[in-house]
Amino acid sequence: MICPFCSLLCDADDLNQVCCRRRESSLVEVTKMRSWHGSSILDSESVSNAINALRSATRILVTGRISSVQTARAAVAFAAKYNATIDCAEGGHAFKNILAIQRSGLNSVSLAEARDHSDVLIVVGDDQLLAKVPRIPSALANEKSVKHTVLLLGDFSEASMSIWREAGFDVWFVPCEMNAVPTALAQWSRWSDSNRDSLSAAGPLFEKLAQARYTTVLWSAENLQIENADLWVERMLQWIATRNENTRCAALAWSSLDGTFQQVCTWLTGFPGRIAFLARTPEYDPCRFSYQEWLAKKPTTDKRKSVLVVIDETASATPFFKVSDLPTDTQVIEVTANSKTFPTAIAGVEIAADIFRADQTLLARVEPSIEPRSYAKSAPHWLEALSRW
């Protein structure tokens, strides 16, 4: 079963029986939303007012939290219709991996291949990794009798190590600064290549790493709270590439639900997001067209009208943006679960949705678990209505 609230990893037969903090909080939010009554029909006046605002705007940004293929397609079509900027990578986490991959390439592995073939797993991060992806140890555990090795690099607690042990791994932990990991691995490679005869004397961990036939390196972009994280990823990818000369080494570069939007946007435009349309032609600039940059840029004249279109398919109580961050006189069109004008049903909870798993290798059909609110429409429904001239 695929669960969009645990980074799309779930081994339970019934999602409603899963003790998942994210899912439980989302269901609570849905319950709260049912306390007020919205319109059960399309509000033509609200749609007309929003369309007029979009037509007269000289700068439009489409952003938010998108988790389904259907909404990603509709959002890109909507942005092209209004020659808008579109960036749906919350916090820029996905682009930590994307920018590095564009420069250095990627030796990647799927979750299933890592589970079935890797004999050594290197995990970089801290306890927040398991807080975001609680089921990843069990998802990577191999049912073979031989325990596979997991090397935890960063700042992990005994509780995190216990979770990996309970999943069946031979756990090793080296506390270190995450920022130094790519350099340390490169130094170890140079040393091991020139001291193969003394590896056993250096310690069993060195020997395990050197003799590994298939190494997988796992990190979460959201967990990399370091400066210039894309350069960190690039150095890691370069080290992984060098390890493929004699053995197999690959990256399992974990991402959040942004991965679905990145994939769909790339299919449709050739770019992973952060694009601005001009005459419905996309222009890609990962720095200039980020939503943070758009929000920070003040209009140069009073005649420039700004419209911010926020799409949110989740039930998150945390807003995607702060009102204080908005340029003066920016009109906001919310297509969200909490919106009283365009209330959106929650993908994977109230309505079925096609969603990529967080390793971006599997498209899953997530069926709804509760009845949708009668007044809530799908995000594509509202976006298509707002695209009618």
Both 162 and 68 in one domain: the answer is no
Residue 100, φ and ψ in degrees, nearest 5: -70, -40
Q: Are residues 143 and 232 in the same domain?
A: yes
Assigned domain for 23 exists = no
- Do 125 and 54 fall within a single domain? no
Q: Which domain holds residue 323?
A: 28-88+273-386
Whether residues 144 and 214 fall in one domain: yes
Q: How many domains does the chain divide into?
A: 2
Residue 240 sits in the same domain as residue 369: no
Residue 108 contacts by C-beta under 8 Å, 6 or more apart in sequence? 250, 251, 252, 253
- Residue 388 CA to residue 48 CA, distance in Å, equals 9
313 plus 197 within the same structural domain: no
CATH number at residue 218: 3.40.228.10
Token representation of residue 375? 């007044």
* Same-domain check for residues 124 and 191: yes
Q: What is the pLDDT of residues 223-233, one digit of tens each?
A: 888 888 999 99
Confirm whether 17 is domain-assigned.
no
State the pTM of this model. Answer: 0.83
- Same-domain status, 173 and 295: no
pLDDT (0 to 100) of residue 1: 47
Q: Are 290 and 101 in contact (CB under 8 A)?
A: no
Within this chain, do residues 106 and 235 fall inside the same structural domain, yes or no? yes
**Between the CA of residue 233 and those of 5, 95, 257, 278, 364, what are the distances in Å?**
25, 10, 19, 32, 27
Beta strands in the chain (DSSP E): 59-65, 85-87, 120-126, 149-155, 170-175, 214-220, 248-254, 275-278, 281-284, 306-312, 331-336, 353-356, 363-366
| For residue 374, pLDDT beyond 90 | no
- The verdict on residue 18 lying in a domain is no
The pLDDT tens digits of the residues spanning 269-308 come to 999 999 999 998 999 999 899 998 888 887 666 677 899 9
The pLDDT score that the predictor gives to residue 54 is: 93
Do 158 and 232 reside in the same domain of the chain? yes
Cα separation of 112 and 27, whole Å? 29
